[in-house]
Amino acid sequence: MINSIVRETGTVILVGGGDFLDADLRAACQSASARVAADGGAGRLMRLGFRPDAVIGDMDSLSPELRRRLDPDTIHEVDEQDSTDFEKCLRRISAAEILGFGFLGARVDHTVAALTVLAARSRQSCILVGREDAVVLAPPRLVLELPVGMRLSLWPLGHVAGRSTGLRWPIEGIDFAPAGTIGTSNEVTGPVELGFDAPVMVLILPKKALPELRRGMAQAPRWGGDEAD
């Protein structure tokens, strides 16, 4: 069992080294309960004027200069190579909501790994924010009020079935699978309700839907599973 390093009842901002807009991170940090860096993501926070409350990872991308500028008590080195820094962080954060910046884009392998971690840590509510999109592991049931015509994509990480209302192409009766049927580029036609039978479906929306996605996820039931204690 892994003890939490960061435990908050509000929003935790988690920052990695991938691609995102500084303005998006700056705005999110203003009202956050805590700011956490995954290894070298500490540099992104510091450049924007925010000191991380915790830095978690194997520290292979944290420069000696940056490390000297940080409070030693905030550095939590996890010396194992069987997980990404993103997963190391999620396993050690307990929060009502996590917004992750810097885990999409830049490198495809890092993006794919981050999506896999979302499924592995399915009990955590973690939304990844990139330059263009907001990405989350779909909960058992999710209700959203989105603009008609908005793009809504579904990407299965395993075999999963679901149901929907408010989509141009309903998903009932479809057996989704990574090497089979996927659900990219669907379209919103009205109030959206989604339901899934397994915690392996990734929901991808345009970034402008982030406020509504956060609202919907806050009210959605969560999957059972492991989380930091």
Residues 77 and 106 in one domain: yes
Mean pLDDT, range 145-161, rounded to an integer: 98
Q: In the structure, what pLDDT confidence band is assigned to residue 224 with cuts at 50, 70 and 90?
A: confident
Residues 123 and 149 in one domain: no
pLDDT at 1: 66
Question: Is position 149 within any domain?
Answer: yes
Residues 60 and 161 in one domain: no
Question: Is position 20 within any domain?
Answer: yes
Per cent of the chain over pLDDT 90 is 83
Residues 29 and 103 in one domain: yes
Residues 72 and 119 in one domain: yes
Q: In the structure, what pLDDT confidence band is assigned to residue 82 with cuts at 50, 70 and 90?
A: confident
Query: Among all chains, which residue has been given the structure tokens 């989350």?
Result: 136
Q: pLDDT tens digits for 59-71?
A: 988 888 989 999 9
Give the mean pLDDT of the chain.
93
Owning domain of residue 10: 6-135+204-219
Question: Is position 227 within any domain?
Answer: no
Residue 228 predicted with pLDDT over 80: no
Residues 20 and 126 in one domain: yes
Task: Please tell me the total count of domains within the chain.
Answer: 2
Distance of CA 215 to the CA centre of its chain: 15
Residues 126 and 42 in one domain: yes
Residues 63 and 129 in one domain: yes
Question: Is position 228 within any domain?
Answer: no
Residues 188 and 81 in one domain: no
pLDDT at 158: 96
Residue 170 has, within 13 A of its CA and on its CB side, a CA count of 8
pLDDT at 229: 37
Question: Is position 1 within any domain?
Answer: no
Beta strand pairing call for 126-129 and 6-7: unpaired
Mean pLDDT, range 169-178, rounded to an integer: 97
Query: Among all chains, which residue has been given the structure tokens 């069987």?
Result: 82
Q: pLDDT tens digits for 94-142?
A: 999 999 999 998 788 889 999 999 998 888 899 999 999 999 999 999 9
The CATH number for 78's domain is 3.40.50.10240
Q: Which range has the top average pLDDT, 38-47, 80-89, 181-190?
A: 181-190
Question: Is position 225 within any domain?
Answer: no
Residues 11 and 122 in one domain: yes
Give the SS3 label for residue 87. Answer: helix
Q: What share of the chain is helix, strand, coil (3-state, %, to 5)?
A: 25, 30, 45
Question: Is position 62 within any domain?
Answer: yes
This prediction has a pTM of: 0.94
Residues 18 and 73 in one domain: yes
**Residues 105/21, Cβ–Cβ less than 8 Å:** no
pLDDT at 78: 93
